[in-house]
Structure 1
Amino acid sequence: MCIPSSPASQPASKPRPPAPTGIHEIKYDGFRLIARRTADGITLTTKQGSDFSDRYSLIVGAIAKLKVNSICIDGEAMCFTGADQDFDKLWSRKHDDEVRLCAFDLLELNGIDLRGLPLLERKKQLFKVIRRSVGIEFVEHLAGDGPTIFAKACGLGYEGIVSKRADRPYQSGETRIWLKTKNPAHPAMQRVMDAFESERRRAR
């Protein structure tokens, strides 16, 4: 019921002052997932519609242990080396058992569709559900000046930030209430291109 035809996505933008009710989250360098648990089982659905539940046992186990009847979470599959994001580990498929879900939105809980609630209310409920979970991490947010937060995120080596309207409901597909600002010095896209090129050469 709760899985959207496409998850909310953010058009790229230049740094800008946030809306009065805006919040900002770190942009994670991983694979977008809609994690869902129903009476029929657990699915981890990518933006392309694939189910990665057979890949990420840590996430599946964490979802299974939540004290809920059903749940639907929007988040990012991530690998880390220490406290640092590590896309190379995620891409390599050699560390699938370490992959965690960085959860930033809650779309459904115990049969109740939450997409119409304001973002901050959804995040509040999400935190309560997953706060003791091993394998699911809550994505924190900051309120304040967008360009300042973006500059600090770049200084720490992150891919960028996602700025969101705190008072708005969830919208599937590309939406202007979520705006991503990408760090031009971050190597995420180049790494993906290099990996595809390497696979193409091996296939020759």
Structure 2
Amino acid sequence: MFIAPMLLEQREHPFDDEGCLFEPMIDGRRLLVSLERGRVRLYTRHGIEVTSQYPELHQVPVAGGADAVLDGEVACFDAATGTFAPERLTERFRMRKPMQIREAAVRQPVHFFAFDLLRCDGADLRDLPLERRKEMLSGALEDSRSFSKLPYIDGDGSAFYEAMAGKPFKGMAAKRKSSRYVGRRDGSWQKIMRYRYANVAIVGYRKHHFGWLVAHDRKIVGLLDRDVPDPYRQAFGGVSREIATGEDRDYVYVKPAIAARVRFRDWTADGRLRMPEFLGFAD
């Protein structure tokens, strides 16, 4: 059974609130796990069934084998680096050959972190407050090799956020204890992301659609193509021809004379910026 997931609104800074629960945000993908009459189905946040992608999640450790719908995050973890491996998870998601999927389930298994219980033993729990659903999740789901309940704390979000520094979480979720589960974005659930920051040189621009090619330490690390305000685009466009050095079918290349300040989620395994955001021109 697919249930439209509740989504988080973004907030810039951590805060304290005794009316909220605070959770670490796993660097993975949203997943709903449905167990109905002994049959497991797995769904993405968009309702796409991906049951065959993750055979290691087919044994759901729900007490008594009761029907249930769990909301959470699926992730791959790299034990060698002590971090989550979103690129590996993307590989798993894209696999189609059954043998390849079975081998990957052994070589690079995923893990499901449950943070909500939406149905249990035939009862719809979405109108219950989150605090009560958390209590029921604790009693219904047993931790196993492939399943865990996501930890959380009450009230002290600022200290919790700071404690995550240097740990492999992409941010913190703040959820009101009284919140009902609604299948849309709602302000009673918020996310505060952890970012890295860097100055990057603009070394080219895309010909046919907006996008600045950027480099860090003389290596191409990504493309800035979203959320750049028009005044900055126009300012760069006014000097781009003067600093152009060459072109190919897709790009015009320029001298690295203009730097941009960006924030981003992390570095990818191949040394590129994950989800970069433009903050302004750097001094």
* TM-score interval, normalised by the smaller of the two chains: 0.7 to 0.9
Query: Which residue matches 1:41?
Result: 39
Q: 2:11 aligns with which of 3, 13, 21?
A: 13
Matched AA of 1:35:
V
**Alpha-carbon shift at residue 21 of structure 1 (Å):** 1.2
**Greater share of strand residues, 1 or 2?**
2
Query: Which residue matches 1:85?
Result: 84
| 1:142-163 superposed Cα distances (whole Å, 9 cap, x missing partner) | 1233222222223324200000
1:29–1:188 CA contact under 8 A, matched in 2? no
Query: Which residue matches 1:177?
Result: 188
The gaps in structure 2 that reach 5 residues or longer are 93-100, 197-264, 277-283
Query: Which residue matches 1:202?
Result: none
Say which is worse superposed, 152-161 or 170-179, in terms of deviation. Answer: 152-161
**Greater share of helix residues, 1 or 2?**
1
Tell me how large the CA RMSD over aligned residues is: 2.4
| 1:40-91 superposed Cα distances (whole Å, 9 cap, x missing partner) | 722111012211110111111235x752331000011111123532212212
**Alpha-carbon shift at residue 187 of structure 1 (Å):** 1.3
TM-score, normalised with respect to structure 2: 0.61
**Alpha-carbon shift at residue 96 of structure 1 (Å):** 4.2
User: Is residue 134 of structure 2 the alignment partner of residue 118 of structure 1?
Assistant: no
Query: Which residue matches 1:105?
Result: 116
Matched AA of 1:39:
R
Quick check: which has more Rg, 1 or 2?
2
- The correspondence of residues 182-201 of structure 1 with structure 2, limited to 5 A, is 182-185=193-196, 186-187=265-266
Q: 2:70 aligns with which of 68, 73, 92?
A: 73
Matched AA of 2:22:
H
Question: Using the alignment, how far apart are the partners of 1:155 and 1:128 within structure 2?
Answer: 31
Aligned residues with identical type, % of pairs: 24
Q: Name the CA shift for 1:150/1:193 in 2 (closer, same or farther; >3 Å).
A: closer
Question: Using the alignment, how far apart are the partners of 1:24 and 1:111 within structure 2?
Answer: 28
TM-score, normalised with respect to structure 1: 0.83
Structure number with the bigger relative contact order (C-alpha 8 A, sep ≥ 6) is: 1
Query: Which residue matches 1:32?
Result: 30
Query: Which residue matches 1:143?
Result: 154
Question: Using the alignment, how far apart are the partners of 1:104 and 1:34 within structure 2?
Answer: 10
Count of residues in correspondence between the two structures = 191
The gaps in structure 1 that reach 5 residues or longer are 195-204
